[in-house]
Amino acid sequence: MEFNAATLAGFLKGEIVGDPEVTVNTIAKIEEGHPGALSFLANPKYEQYIYTTKSSIVLVNSDFVPGAEIEATLIKVKNAYESFASLLQLVDQARPGKKGIHPTAVIETSAVIGKDVYIGAFVYVGENCVVEDDCSLYPNVYIGDNTRLGKKCTLNPGVVIYRDCILGNNCTVHAGSVIGSDGFGFAPQSETEFMKIPQLGNVILEDNVEIGANVTIDRATMGSTIIRRGVKLDNLIQVGHNVEIGENTVMAAQTGIAGSTRVGRNCMFGGQVGLSGHIKVADGTKIGAQSGIPGDIKKENSILLGYPAIDHRDFMRSSIIFKRLPELYRKVEDLEKQIRLLKEE
């Protein structure tokens, strides 16, 4: 698809600086720009590239003031990153979607399949399942008995949804993820043996949830593991049984959440964050990468770092001391030596 600057500016409600008729038909990083490409500048540390980029059009924030001449046509918008994301969505939605049911798919007779669905090769849809309109199930997807998919759900290759789970509308699950596997429930019988505790609950994903690749969300022991609407989970995340994640919370890769923990709304977790079980995390909490949370976070909109995680300002001050510990240790040894000598005298 090809667009000129005037069309893009109209769609984004932006201001053109340069040639309104210049056209683009692809996208590129600003540092890798070439004629016919659209790029964006949102992070000031990339500003150097806007003066050398070969991209035909660059989206910039409305307050951007160039420090030198720029060859590209600029479109000034309120938020360049958000505007670029909107254009990517426009291009993605323009791609022709797949429809139809592949002859190798196995769909049990009691399953209900909606209109305009795509069910790829070697997909299995179990008994009493419901797959609503406009869903896409890519090859090798498994849907267990009594599972329900809302409208416009996309399950990418190799996704496994165990029995009794419920997905809302417009959910996306990426390749290799497992929804509804057993929670880690074992009762000690002796010092060396454990008894399996049956996991009889399910998993519920509300509307507009996106799950990355190779994520595991365990079913509840009883009741439901619940991922509220708008949640976005990165790749390689583990969500334990009976966890609840609040609306519009986002988590980066390799985060792990132990069972029965409650995470509030609008939280943001960096990569490799670990949460203990049976704790509560307040709304709006932000946790830095590789932090550990052993107990409740009661204050809303907290920003935490470290293990155990503490207020980010305290952590930054402490990190300065951490670097000086070897030096401080040597000073303490010297002082102790001097004290011993004084005592001997």
**Active centre residues (catalytic):** 241
Looking at residue 223, what DSSP letter applies?
S
CB within 8 Å of 35: residues ≥ 6 apart: 54, 55, 56
* Residue matched to tokens 């011993």: 340
CB atoms within 10 A of CB 39: 27
What is the separation of C-alpha 274 from the centre of its chain, rounded to a whole number of angstroms? 15
Handedness of CA 40, 45, 51, 52 (dihedral sign): negative
Q: Using CA atoms, how far apart are residues 45 and 32, in angstroms rounded to an integer?
A: 15
The residues that bridge with 203 in the sheet, in sequence order, are: 225
Token couple for 290: 């590789």
Q: Kindly give the interhelix angle for 5-12 and 80-94, rounded to the nearest 10 degrees.
A: 110
